[in-house]
Amino acid sequence: MNTALSWIKAYVPDLEVTDQEYMDAMTLSGTKVEGMKRLDQNLEKIVVGQIVKLEKHPDADKLLVCQVDVGSQTIQIVTGAHNISEGDKIPVVLEGGNVAASVHADGKAPEHGIRIKKGKLRGVPSFGMMCSIEELGSTREFFPDAPENGIYLLPPDTPVGADAVEVLGLRDTVFEYEITSNRVDCYSVLGIAREAAATFRKKFVAPVISETGNGEDVRDFLQVEVQDPDLCPRYCARMVKNIRIAPSPKWMQRRLAASGVRPINNLVDITNYVMEEFGQPMHAFDYDQLAGHKIVVKRAQDGDTFQTLDGQIRRLDSNMLMINDGEKGVCIAGIMGGENSKITDNVKTMVFEAACFDGTNVRLSSKRLGLRTESSGKFEKGLDPNTAKLAMDRACQLIEELGCGEVVGGMIDVYPQKREEKTVAFDPDYINALLGTDISREQMLAYFQPLELVYSEADNTLHIPTWRQDISCKADVAEEVARFYGYDHIPTTLPSGAASAGKLSFKLRVEETARQAAQFCGFSQAMTYSFESPKVFDRLLIPSDCALRKAIPIMNPLGEDYSIMRTTPLNGMLTSLATNFNRRNKNVRLYEIANVYLPEELPLTKLPDERTAFSLGMYGEGDFFTMKGVVEEFLHRVGMNKKIGYDPTGSNSTGVYPSGKLPFLHPGRQARIWYDGQEIGYLGEVHPQVTDNYAIGERVYLAVLDLPYIVANATYDYKYTGLAKYPSVTRDISMVMKKEIMVGQVEEIIEKKGGKLVEKYELFDIYEGSQIMAGYKSVAYSITFRAADRTLEDREVQNAMDHILKALQELGIELRK
Amino acid sequence: MKEKLQKIREEALAQLESSDTLDRLNEIRVAYLGKKGKLTAVLKGMKEVAPEERPRVGQMVNETRAAIETYLDSARKKIADKMREEQLKKEVIDVTLPAQKNHFGHRHPNTIALEEMERIFIGMGYEVMEGPEIEYDKYNFEYLNIPANHPAKDEQDTFYINNDILLRTQTSSVQVHAMEQGKLPIRMIAPGRVFRSDEVDATHSPSFHQVEGLVVDRNITFADLKGTLAEFAREMFGEQTKTKFRPHHFPFTEPSAEMDVTCFKCGGKGCRFCKGSGWIEILGCGMVHPHVLELCGIDPEVYTGFAFGVGLERIALLKYEIDDMRLLYENDERFLKQF
């Protein structure tokens, strides 16, 4: 909402503030000023001049040499403009003065404007400049009487030597307000003026609306019928005849222009003026185009079409409210009129409408039509029906005052259920207790006065004017008090009451550990979107019958690329890695902790299972086992110290992932991660086809841990085992075995058969190649034996080794000599 | 004999004096004190000395040996010191050479801002909670005083799954969960993802993060809200930070406010960063609307509360001077590694 300060001052005549004071105080009382524009910015030493003599330039055909009376003196000005003649009054910037922009303003004015110096044009001295409207910082849009590419001509009665900026109404500042949606009343000049009066403790002077109309009665010419009063609480209609279309007066044009409304003609300008002033949109119909001289307000029918006055054909439905005449639709209520009844320059008699339409209905209709207008924007906030009559009378008053036509007497007012004032209890103790203040009752009442909240001593209530739809309970009244007491005057304290222990939830603590472990291992934190394209499943080679494809679709997505809620974090991770690869970043390691969304059934009837996934991805240095190390580092940090299992088949999957080999991973380089009888995640090398699909030209390794399982198993507990006092014995074994046998099986044997004496074992060599039979590999382990309470005897170690070797042999593993 | 020993001693000392390597010292030691050394030779020749002379000569030999050993030690130390000194001289490095990078990973800037906030509020006794991202309409809107067809529902451009289920547009939904649990008093913050149907550009993202705060107890006042958030601002943006509360409107708080903080670049003087105003808008807040308390089963005549909501990305962008929101979701490692 943009409004010139001068317009506000028209209703708060005692208001004397600087622009900055106004902006700060209004913002602090709740009418936020978003910006301001001084209309006289960069305009200096600009006066009204009169051309007393005009001659051709001796050496240039296109230039004129003018003698201009500027009041105190007559100066010579050379100009290239040609729309001037002797006797014209024009704005003149004197030498040393300043204008806002150049005549060839392309919309961009220099920050400090343009300084005007005396100079010579083709040898003839010039001591100033006559100004176009662009040079004065405005446009022809707002000064419709300004010529194209010419000097702005002032009215003949303008006093010579006067301040031309003042004369043009540019000694003003336009403020831009951000109005909150609850303050419908402030989408109007009067609403803001009322706030300004309350903010600066000045008197608010509402415009005086006089009686209008001739001796006739509108009811003799027009009938109004409201068939759907639920969508139209009030409908006011008056008529104007003998219309004389002409430009509106300058003062009205200036105010509209400052509000960003383009002046058109007296009729249009009056409706716009009243809309700005009261926040009440009005509509005008050509009376002679209304069949049956009748207005019927009712819902449209599904499938109806209607041509709005912008020429577009609109498809209507039965939830849209239409204004009809005796035969046909003439206006989509509150949104836009029709081509068939619009006011033309030949209009003789018109019907004025000031109505109140249901805000929600206008909003939804406007949304369905894809048609938002100044009018619908106002209606959809929910207007006060009591304003309609005021606005109507105001408009008719302006019609008469501006000589725009003859207002017919009387008003048709269909207003079956009058909206009455609400009352709210006045409870100063509650207010002070809520705010933490100690404001006197009298002080509070003083704040209410300019707001027209009227106190009734009889029942200790406040009567709330109907335009203040935002006030309906004690807390709302408290806000009024707070606003005018000043939020900045309310003290600052900390909550009293019992102290409480602040903490992270256990889950968030696990996530924190995950971040630390990942970062420790060189992984940086990524964040990716929760929604993605259904096409990602193909890119990830996920088969069409896989449960992972059961993703929740969004009803109104931004586009297909963001249309389903992800069921795996893979696409986000791979896309991020691909971005890095594409930008030639080397050795990239990323992790993300974010949710996947697994529906129990589709369509969704209850909330899905939101599972937090801890995913890691990398390319460059490192391999499968690097990733495995990261997983183990994390599990160790959360105190999951039992044996971690790795199953390459996925055949016994119990987790949230599909059973069998994971299709997006390399079939020979993947494992499900098991802990304490539960599957907690997976890791592996990404399938080369998938890396191709993502255009990553390197091997990519991934690990995904299902955080709910981690949260369930994390202990953050560690038990000390005594530091060894007795010496250990180490035995190395070197074996040859079939390739298919996994070292995990060997380790299981070492652990089981070696018994308690085995302190640790370490794989120190693994080899396949020319020295070994095809299909076989050589594996070497170093096993350390130790007892906590004695020095081991050779016999004991040998015994343990015999058990191990026997079990290995049973697996078909041979010892290498 | 005495002269002989004296001579050996002088000779040895002179040789030691002129030696400058440990090897040479060793040669000298062997030459005099070794098995075939000169002093050892004297001892071997003892049998030719008269028996009554032997103790005296023996003592003299020992004295000589001790003297030579003492000299040896000090010569050895001198040489070692010299060598150490030379080594140190040789090992001078150019300390301005570039540092070797540690290959640790980095937190996302959102997380840095979040952890900072969590630290501050946990210190003030707040619990950190979470709520679902896919949410029932009633938690996101209805219980927050935003009934069906309320314009705020449009303003927030909601992604819907169906008519009842949506992607939450605000972490305020977690307020409802917290209050519904019925455990009072409440002091909590709730960070999390929220979604609004904004097209991706430098300042918008359809998915971003908020941190919600809620306190409900007896006697909670607007002054408490101001005090708490002013304390938060000082901790978050620096001890000198001032706060300004402006009236605003949210359906679920009344009175409502927006909080500005003095620009952390210019300290409030006005700069390009704060568009000359000296202030930066940081969060929305207010006293929990009595109707919301009621809807959540809390008696507004007994309890009051305050709530606030902060945009995490907004804080991260401002604090770390990131000029394009898209950077936060691209995950370019060169970006992430700056934090």
Nearest to A181 among B133, B152, B219 (CB): B152
How deeply is A328 buried, as exposed, middle or buried, from its count of CB atoms within 10 A (0-12, 13-18, 19+)? middle
Question: Which residue out of B205, B325, B333 would a mutagenesis test of the A interface target, given it has the greatest number of A Cβ atoms within 10 Å?
Answer: B333
Look up the CATH number of the domain holding residue A773. Answer: 3.30.70.380
Q: What is the pLDDT of residue A537?
A: 97
Residues A7 and A86 in one domain: no
Cβ distance B287 to A610 less than 8 Å, yes or no, reads no
Contact list in A for residue B134 (CB cut-off 8 A) is 552, 565, 597, 604, 607-608, 610
ipTM confidence: 0.88
From CA A262, how far away is CA A673, in angstroms rounded? Answer: 70
Q: What is the pLDDT of residue B100?
A: 84
- What is the average pLDDT across B264-287? 89
Q: What is the pLDDT of residue A817?
A: 65
Domains of chain A: total: 6
- What is the average pLDDT across B72-80? 90
How deeply is B10 buried, as exposed, middle or buried, from its count of CB atoms within 10 A (0-12, 13-18, 19+)? exposed
pLDDT in tens, B325-338: 999 999 999 999 99
Cβ distance B118 to A558 less than 8 Å, yes or no, reads no
**Residue B192, phi then psi, degrees to nearest 5:** 170, 170
Q: Flag whether pLDDT at B156 surpasses 80.
A: no
Which residue of chain B has the CA closest to A438? B223
Nearest to A476 among B159, B254, B333 (CB): B254
Residues A761 and A644 in one domain: no
Q: What is the pLDDT of residue B32?
A: 87
Residue A96: both structure tokens together: 């040393």
B contact residues 33-72, partner A, Cβ 8 Å cutoff? none
Give CA A621 to chain center in angstroms.
42
Contact with chain B for residue A440, Cβ under 8 A: no
Question: Quick one: what percent of chain A has pLDDT higher than 70?
Answer: 99
Q: What is the pLDDT of residue A722?
A: 83
Q: What is the pLDDT of residue A106?
A: 60
Residues A259 and A390 in one domain: yes
Cβ distance A529 to B231 less than 8 Å, yes or no, reads no
A109 three-state secondary structure:
coil
The size of the A-B interface in CB pairs under 8 A is 253
Residues A426 and A525 in one domain: no
Contact with chain A for residue B246, Cβ under 8 A: yes
In this structure, the strands spanning A294-299 and A223-226 are parallel
Contact with chain A for residue B230, Cβ under 8 A: yes
Instruction: Tell me how close the Cα of A529 comes to any Cα of chain B, in angstroms.
Output: 7
- A20, A35 Cβ separation under 8 angstroms: no
Residues A764 and A806 in one domain: yes
Which residue segment(s) compose the domain that A584 sits in?
Answer: 506-713
Instruction: Tell me how close the Cα of B54 comes to any Cα of chain A, in angstroms.
Output: 53
- At B160, the pLDDT band (50, 70, 90 cuts) reads very high
Contact list in B for residue A185 (CB cut-off 8 A) is none
From CA B31, how far away is CA B44, in angstroms rounded? Answer: 15
Mean of the per-residue pLDDT values of chain B: 91
Residues A367 and A455 in one domain: no
Integer distance in angstroms from the first to the last C-alpha of chain A? 92
Record: fold of B109-336: BirA Bifunctional Protein; domain 2 (3.30.930)
- What is the average pLDDT across A657-662? 89
Residues A342 and A299 in one domain: yes
pLDDT in tens, A515-559: 999 999 999 999 999 999 999 999 999 999 899 999 999 999 999
Question: Which residue out of B222, B252, B299 would a mutagenesis test of the A interface target, given it has the greatest number of A Cβ atoms within 10 Å?
Answer: B222
Taking every pair of Cα atoms in chain A, the longest distance, rounded to a whole number of angstroms, is 130
pLDDT in tens, B211-234: 999 999 999 999 999 999 999 999
Cβ distance A364 to B149 less than 8 Å, yes or no, reads yes
Q: What is the pLDDT of residue B64?
A: 86
Contact list in B for residue A437 (CB cut-off 8 A) is 222-223
Domain assignment of residue A210, yes or no: no
Helix axis angle, A428-435 to A474-485, nearest 10°: 60
B291 three-state secondary structure:
helix
Q: What is the pLDDT of residue B155?
A: 59
- What is the average pLDDT across A194-214? 94
Q: What is the pLDDT of residue B266?
A: 87
pLDDT in tens, A351-386: 999 999 999 999 999 999 999 999 999 999 999 999
What are the angstrom distances between the C-alpha of A45 and each of A94, A139, A150? Answer: 6, 20, 20
Q: What is the pLDDT of residue A103?
A: 66
Look up the CATH number of the domain holding residue A682. Answer: 3.30.930.10
- A288, A349 Cβ separation under 8 angstroms: yes
DSSP type of residue B286: E
Cβ distance A524 to B199 less than 8 Å, yes or no, reads no
Residues A71 and A188 in one domain: no
Instruction: Tell me how close the Cα of B96 comes to any Cα of chain A, in angstroms.
Output: 26
pLDDT in tens, A442-481: 999 999 999 999 999 999 999 999 999 999 999 999 999 9
- At B62, the pLDDT band (50, 70, 90 cuts) reads confident
Nearest to A490 among B106, B123, B226 (CB): B226
Domain assignment of residue A212, yes or no: no
Contacts from A395-401 at CB under 8 Å and sequence distance 24+?
A: A395/A270, A395/A271, A395/A274, A395/A282, A395/A352, A395/A354, A396/A212, A396/A213, A396/A238, A396/A240, A396/A352, A397/A209, A397/A210, A397/A212, A398/A270, A398/A273, A398/A274, A399/A212, A399/A240, A399/A270, A400/A212
User: What are the structural domain ranges in chain B?
Assistant: 2-90, 109-336
Residues A573 and A528 in one domain: yes
Domain assignment of residue A543, yes or no: yes
Residues A371 and A304 in one domain: yes
Contact with chain B for residue A763, Cβ under 8 A: no
Contact with chain A for residue B242, Cβ under 8 A: no
Give the pTM: 0.86
Residues A34 and A48 in one domain: no
- Ranges assigned E (strand) in A620-757: 644-647, 665-675, 678-686, 700-706, 729-738
Nearest to A557 among B104, B159, B330 (CB): B159
From CA A7, how far away is CA A257, in angstroms rounded? Answer: 12
Contact list in B for residue A528 (CB cut-off 8 A) is 329, 331
* Strands of the A336-337 sheet, one edge to the other: A223-226, A294-299, A321-324, A329-332, A336-337
- At B37, the pLDDT band (50, 70, 90 cuts) reads confident
pLDDT in tens, A25-83: 999 999 999 999 999 999 999 999 999 999 999 998 899 999 999 999 999 999 998 89
Nearest to A524 among B105, B125, B247 (CB): B105
Cβ distance B107 to A515 less than 8 Å, yes or no, reads yes
Look up the CATH number of the domain holding residue A53. Answer: 2.40.50.140
Domain assignment of residue A207, yes or no: no
Contact with chain B for residue A530, Cβ under 8 A: yes
Contact with chain B for residue A2, Cβ under 8 A: no
Cβ distance B159 to A32 less than 8 Å, yes or no, reads no
Cβ distance A492 to B227 less than 8 Å, yes or no, reads yes
Return all residues near A611 (Cβ < 8 A) that are at least 6 apart: A595, A596, A598, A656, A706, A707, A708
Q: What is the pLDDT of residue A107?
A: 57
Residues A563 and A481 in one domain: no
Q: Any idea what the Cα angle at residue A161 is, between residues A157 and A162, rounded to 5°?
A: 70
Closest CA to B134 of A746, A609, A91: A609
pLDDT in tens, A103-150: 665 656 788 889 999 889 899 999 999 999 999 988 888 888 899 889
- B41, B84 Cβ separation under 8 angstroms: no
What are the angstrom distances between the C-alpha of B15 and each of A441, A728, B68, B71? Answer: 109, 52, 11, 11
Residue A209: both structure tokens together: 């609306």
Q: What is the pLDDT of residue B63?
A: 87
